[in-house]
Amino acid sequence: MNGDWLIRGRDGRLSVYLMSDSDDAVLCRAERVPGGAWEAPRRVGGDQKVHQDFAVGHGPDGYAHLASWRSTVKGEAGLVHSTHYRPLLAALDWTPIGHPDRKGARTGPPAVAVDAQGRAHVFARGIGTGLCMVAQKEKGGWEPWRDLKGQGVEGPPVAVTGESGCVEAYAAVSDGILHWRQQTAGAQPVLQEPLKTPVRSGTLRTLATSPEHTTLFYTDESGDVCAWRPGAEPVPVLAAAGPGPVAAIRTELDGHDCTLLAQRSASGRVAFAAYPTEEESAGACWAESGPQLPADAVVALAKDHQDRVVAAALSRSTGLLQLTRRKDEPGLALTAWQTV
């Protein structure tokens, strides 16, 4: 899964997206009522079979946009898109949106960002290992695929919509990170100055942190979680708690705008760390919470209908979904983890 797979919908209900046991369908689980019990998993996008690589994005309207690969003819695949307007409604059927190189084999996991107008932007690596993008038109349909240039993209790209309304994307390469940014909303993202840095592929996560900036979190080769805002040097935040990417969200803690990070730790529990947003020099440290999780568990952060931070841990192998919420207390006090 790539992107925000734990989402608060337009109606305040939380939902999560995951692959089916058969690895050929995306499923959705949602709260029956905000803050209440959860429904059983339901298939997304109709009866079409899709590949394991899927991505989720959502915009200010609360709608979820999903992208995945689907086999077409022997040895070839194409990307498909679905919109999920409300967690308890059926999502739209998967709609073909083409291939970055018109046709060919699956190239790698997609990424999705949704701009301020509710238009999905789907990013995927091209056969030539550069990044390509296709975007929804304002009045329906899709623009043609665009070659955004770049070379040597490794692992899944990540995409985000900044507070300015402009979409940005990041991707790891062998010697650093590539960054693309729209100059104006709706424009084609332009490749910016790359960052030369050692980076572990598959550890990228991005977050809008101010009207001017998005912040990219990644793990470097020394094992530190670093924060990078284009135009400045990357800053080590703290040693990674575990091998995967961090989850990140902004929230108010004791009256301060803070960035909260979460990650499955090497011990198997979920580790949390917080610091004032864009003030990495203030320092942060991990605090572990909850039960020991399976090795393939991933972690996500969102806010519920009462604007409380919710952390979710999901295991693909077992389908186990566990949640905790922030208590109405100072600091980052959490409720007991629950299996739903």
* pLDDT, tens digit only, all 340 positions of the chain: 899 899 999 999 999 999 998 889 999 999 999 999 999 999 999 999 999 889 999 988 899 999 999 999 999 999 999 999 998 899 999 999 999 999 999 999 999 999 999 999 999 999 889 999 999 998 889 999 999 999 999 999 999 999 999 999 999 999 999 999 999 988 999 999 999 999 998 999 999 999 999 999 999 999 999 999 999 999 999 999 999 899 999 999 999 999 999 999 999 999 999 999 999 999 999 999 999 999 999 999 999 999 999 999 999 888 899 999 999 888 899 999 999 9
Q: Are 103 and 91 in contact (CB under 8 A)?
A: no
Q: What is the pLDDT of residue 318?
A: 85
Rounded Cα–Cα distance for residues 137 and 128 (Å): 26
pTM: predicted TM-score of the whole model, two decimal places: 0.96
How far apart (Å, rounded) are the C-alpha atoms in residues 168 and 184? 11
Long-range contacts, 256-262 (Cβ 8 Å, 24+): 259/207, 259/209, 259/215, 260/301, 260/309, 260/332, 261/217, 261/225, 261/237, 262/299, 262/300, 262/301, 262/311
Q: What's 281's DSSP letter?
A: G
For residue 335, the tally of other CB atoms under 10 A from its CB is 12
Angstrom distance (rounded) from CA 120 to CA 57:
8
Closest listed residue to residue 289, CA positions, set 309, 318, 259, 305: 309
The candidate with the shortest Cα–Cα distance to 18, out of 329, 324, 314, 334, is: 314
Model pLDDT, residue 199: 96
| Domain architecture of the chain: domains with CATH | 2-196 (2.120.10.70)
pLDDT score recorded for residue 186: 87
Token pair of 106 as six digits = 């699956």
